[in-house]
């Protein structure tokens, strides 16, 4: 295949956008779409090679996969070795175990599936996953496994059916992706069937030829428009439904650049073919591999936000490691001459040598002996509603089926429903434990990442119209089910309205999803607040009108940093923990409007309020520790200690409401059940 320098330049655009996105540059808020450009390039190159060899009669599966092994495996195995060593010194035991499982998954090309399942564990963050970025590599490798077989099968019938097959497969995958974004957003992000259309568009480009007699300006315009589409994605996209239709902008843009430079370089092609761009494109694979863990480790170890100097240093180190890997790993192995059997054997042996240490790490529970007893005690406190996580927080949980939702407490028909997001879910284990001792149970109508309010919208990688359906079905069930007497409402409403607050600390850097109304219009902060006021008030009024008793849990104070990890890191250095509290005024200022909306509901017989701040804060500060025990899992979710404190405020309220409904009251917690805090 003829070398095309502008494709290396296109790779450079992709990797630079990804790097700047991970560096936190707000101007590149859509830089994550650089991965989608990579997909198009891969689909184009692979299809071009396969189809040419099929036409020439020289295609063999052995030859194809030998080239893939030489291209992909050496640098990937170098990455696994690098992260094995670094993770030993950086990651805490649980994360070391999960990282080891991910490393094995990456070697065998299914890390996208592994990270999909990890994504359902909301106690895990991206900053604890040094191999998270290998999900895209797994998608490509899976495409390489299936696509050649399908092309061969189709061509056996008629060779001229290959292109129609690719077009049909493209639209099928696009349709699946559009559906997935609305119904299975995490699946749509990680899995090949939802991403395949991006690679297939690249495959389609391999068959498109621009007639040489066309006016030159057509190619110039097409190429320039394509590059502009890619750049527009990088700077204009933020929190959008992705991939789905949204991914077509960078995908089609990349395809236009490829198509309109086939007969000679255009102006955009010459820009992409400059020396720096081509050099960056050549090392882009290794650069992509090694930049990921560097940024993860830096954020993982940081007590506070990374400084601009530190970010520049990470970028420079990424380029250095990327170049070293390209020069001393990628290039030599790609050029090496060896019989296919030997290459397969070498790859297998090398993979086994890297898998074994990871299996040992898993068997040793992440080698906790690396840390002191003090650090391990802090980490042990990082538990979040374990029963909920084990039984309910998984891909197969019927989140939109209230009748099949998890029940906590005794084996009796629930008379209490908890409607909430992850903040509500965090209370379930403790409330369930206390309810079980009283022969009561609680129905868990919770979905992390979804606002616990009807007709309120949220778009992003974790949530979308599925949240709307969840809230609507949950509320219908509460209102229409006679056995439900009491509804406990608890959610992270401040974050949904206010979004991230940089003043809260490093954890606030997470790009919280943008909200929209029913017409797809993005809402600014005031519009989000007004919509919340209307929808939340209407929801509470609807439950009260149906004769339900409502326990309204006020906002939980936010921390702004990962309490467990920060405390554990400080324990290693024996530094004083200066993050034990935040001024109460900071919390009150941020939560003021949400509290005002909740207060404005007025005093009603069947509406009772519980304010976690009354127990978690004093007059001047909100505390994240009590009796030297952490109360939070991360920057905003309570651990078992914190949940116990808030639950002890909720239980007396439930006692009162159940008694007033003529039911047997929930008994006051036994002394043995009282928290030590």
Q: How far apart are CA 163 and CA 276, in angstroms?
A: 35
Q: Specify whether 64 is located in the same domain as 116.
A: yes
Tell me, yes or no, whether 100 lies in a domain: yes
Q: How confident is the model at residue 662, as a pLDDT?
A: 54
CB 52 within 8 A of CB 331: no
Residue 476: asked if its preceding bond is cis (omega within 30°), the reply is no
SS3 content of the chain, % helix, strand, coil (to 5): 65, 5, 30
Q: How confident is the model at residue 45, as a pLDDT?
A: 93
CATH of the domain at 398: 3.40.50.1110
Q: How confident is the model at residue 458, as a pLDDT?
A: 59
Q: Specify whether 417 is located in the same domain as 280.
A: no
Q: Specify whether 391 is located in the same domain as 358.
A: no
Q: Which of 335, 340, 254 is nearest to 11 (CA)?
A: 254
Q: What are phi and psi of 212, to 5 degrees?
A: -65, -20
Q: Specify whether 320 is located in the same domain as 460.
A: no
Tell me, yes or no, whether 404 lies in a domain: yes
Q: Specify whether 295 is located in the same domain as 325.
A: yes
Domain boundary among 342, 370, 398: 370
Tell me, yes or no, whether 54 lies in a domain: yes
Domain boundary among 318, 340, 370: 370
Q: How far apart are CA 465 and CA 459, in angstroms?
A: 8
Tell me, yes or no, whether 122 lies in a domain: yes
- Residue 350: exposed, middle, or buried by beta-carbon count in 10 A (0-12, 13-18, 19+)? middle
Q: Specify whether 251 is located in the same domain as 282.
A: yes
Domain boundary among 370, 402, 434: 370
Q: Specify whether 32 is located in the same domain as 123.
A: yes
pTM metric for this prediction: 0.84
Q: How far apart are CA 270 and CA 268, in angstroms?
A: 5
Cβ neighbors of 225 (< 8 A, separation 6 or more) are: 253, 256
DSSP structure class, residue 2: -
What's the domain range around 111?
5-370
Q: How confident is the model at residue 389, as a pLDDT?
A: 72
Tell me, yes or no, whether 562 lies in a domain: no
Q: Which of 184, 208, 202 is nearest to 247 (CA)?
A: 202
CB 557 within 8 A of CB 582: yes
Tell me, yes or no, whether 340 lies in a domain: yes
Q: Specify whether 299 is located in the same domain as 419.
A: no
Quote the distance between the C-alpha of residue 133 and its chain's center: 11
For 494, the token pair is: 């401040």
Q: How confident is the model at residue 500, as a pLDDT?
A: 66
DSSP structure class, residue 416: E
Tell me, yes or no, whether 61 lies in a domain: yes
* CA 472-476-481 angle, 5° bins: 155
Q: How far apart are CA 359 and CA 434, in angstroms?
A: 39
Q: How confident is the model at residue 563, as a pLDDT?
A: 84
Q: Which of 672, 654, 671 is nearest to 663 (CA)?
A: 654
Q: How confident is the model at residue 574, as a pLDDT?
A: 66
Q: Specify whether 232 is located in the same domain as 164.
A: yes
CB 543 within 8 A of CB 353: no
Cβ neighbors of 145 (< 8 A, separation 6 or more) are: 109
CB 6 within 8 A of CB 257: yes
For 636, the token pair is: 């905003």
CB 424 within 8 A of CB 418: yes
Q: How far apart are CA 544 and CA 606, in angstroms?
A: 7
Q: Specify whether 237 is located in the same domain as 278.
A: yes
Q: Specify whether 327 is located in the same domain as 392.
A: no
Give the pLDDT means over successive 10-residue stretches in the chain (677 positions). Answer: 89 94 84 92 93 86 89 94 95 94 94 88 80 95 93 85 93 93 84 95 88 82 94 83 89 95 90 95 96 93 85 96 95 83 87 94 94 87 73 58 83 92 90 88 87 72 64 92 93 84 49 52 78 92 94 90 83 68 87 94 91 91 83 87 91 81 47 37
- Residue 129: exposed, middle, or buried by beta-carbon count in 10 A (0-12, 13-18, 19+)? buried
Tell me, yes or no, whether 379 lies in a domain: no
Q: Specify whether 332 is located in the same domain as 207.
A: yes
Q: How far apart are CA 132 and CA 152, in angstroms?
A: 33
State which H helix or E strand residue 294 sits in. Answer: helix 284-301
Our count of domains for the chain comes to 2
CB 105 within 8 A of CB 114: yes
Write the DSSP assignment of 541-608 as a string of letters.
HHHHHTT-EEEEEPPPPP-SS-HHHHHHHHHHHT---TTSEEEHHHHHHHHHHHHHHHHTT---TTEE
């Amino acid at each position: 295949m003829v070398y095309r320098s502008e494709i290396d330049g296109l790779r450079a655009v992709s990797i630079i956008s990804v790097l700047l996105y991970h560096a936190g540059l707000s101007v590149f808020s859509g830089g994550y779409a650089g991965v989608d450009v990579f997909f198009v390039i891969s689909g184009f190159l692979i299809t071009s090679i396969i189809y040419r060899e099929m036409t020439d009669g020289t295609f063999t599966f052995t030859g194809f996969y030998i080239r893939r092994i030489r291209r992909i495996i050496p640098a990937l195995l170098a990455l696994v070795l690098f992260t094995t060593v670094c993770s030993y010194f950086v990651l805490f035991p649980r994360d070391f175990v999960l990282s080891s499982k991910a490393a094995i998954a990456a070697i065998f090309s299914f890390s996208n599936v592994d990270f999909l399942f990890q994504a359902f564990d909301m106690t895990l963050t991206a900053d604890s996953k040094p191999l998270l970025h290998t999900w895209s590599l797994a998608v490509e490798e899976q495409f390489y496994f299936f696509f050649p077989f399908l092309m061969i099968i189709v061509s056996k019938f008629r060779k001229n059916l290959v292109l129609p097959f690719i077009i049909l497969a493209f639209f099928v995958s696009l349709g699946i992706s559009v559906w997935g974004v609305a119904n299975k957003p995490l699946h749509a992000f990680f899995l090949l069937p939802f991403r395949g259309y991006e690679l297939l568009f690249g495959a389609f480009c391999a068959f498109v030829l621009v007639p040489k007699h066309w006016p030159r300006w057509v190619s110039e315009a097409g190429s320039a428009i394509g590059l502009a589409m890619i750049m527009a994605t990088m700077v204009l996209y933020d929190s959008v439904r992705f991939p789905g239709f949204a991914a077509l902008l960078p995908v089609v843009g990349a395809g236009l650049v490829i198509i309109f430079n086939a007969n000679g370089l255009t102006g955009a092609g010459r820009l992409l073919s400059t020396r720096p761009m081509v050099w960056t494109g050549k090392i882009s694979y290794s650069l992509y591999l090694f930049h990921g863990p560097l940024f993860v480790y830096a954020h993982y170890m940081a007590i506070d936000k990374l400084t601009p100097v530190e970010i520049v240093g990470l970028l420079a180190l990424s380029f250095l490691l990327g170049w070293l890997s390209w020069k001393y790993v990628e290039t030599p192995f790609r050029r090496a001459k060896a019989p296919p059997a030997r290459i397969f054997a070498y790859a297998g042996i090398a993979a086994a040598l890297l898998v074994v240490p990871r299996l040992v790490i898993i068997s040793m529970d992440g080698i906790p002996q690396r840390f002191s007893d003090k650090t391990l005690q802090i980490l042990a406190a990082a538990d979040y509603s374990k029963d909920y996580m084990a039984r309910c927080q998984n891909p197969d949980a019927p989140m939109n089926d209230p009748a099949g939702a998890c029940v906590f407490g005794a084996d009796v028909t629930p008379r209490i429903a908890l409607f909430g997001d992850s903040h509500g879910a965090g209370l379930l284990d403790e409330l369930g434990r206390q309810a079980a001792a009283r022969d009561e149970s609680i129905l868990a109508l919770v979905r992390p990442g979804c606002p616990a309010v009807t007709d309120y919208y949220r778009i992003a990688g974790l949530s979308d119209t599925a949240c709307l359906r969840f809230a609507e079905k949950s509320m219908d069930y509460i209102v229409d089910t006679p056995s439900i007497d009491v509804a406990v409402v608890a959610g992270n409403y401040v974050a949904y309205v206010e979004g991230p607050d940089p003043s809260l600390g490093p954890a606030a850097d997470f790009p919280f999803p943008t909200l929209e109304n029913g017409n797809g219009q993005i809402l600014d902060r005031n519009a989000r607040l007004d919509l919340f006021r209307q929808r939340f008030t209407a929801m509470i009024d609807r439950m009260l009108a149906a004769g339900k008793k409502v326990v309204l849990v006020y906002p939980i104070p936010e921390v702004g940093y990962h309490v467990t990890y920060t405390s554990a890191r400080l324990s290693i250095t024996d530094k004083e923990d200066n993050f034990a509290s935040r001024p109460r005024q900071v919390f009150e200022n941020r939560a003021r409007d949400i509290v005002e909306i909740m207060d404005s509901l007025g005093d009603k017989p069947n509406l009772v309020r519980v304010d976690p701040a009354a127990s978690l804060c004093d007059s001047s500060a909100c505390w994240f520790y009590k009796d030297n025990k952490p109360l939070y899992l991360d920057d905003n979710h309570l651990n078992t200690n914190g949940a116990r404190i808030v639950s002890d405020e909720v239980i007396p309220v439930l006692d009162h409401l159940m008694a007033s409904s003529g039911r047997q009251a929930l008994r006051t917690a036994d002394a043995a059940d009282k928290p030590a805090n």
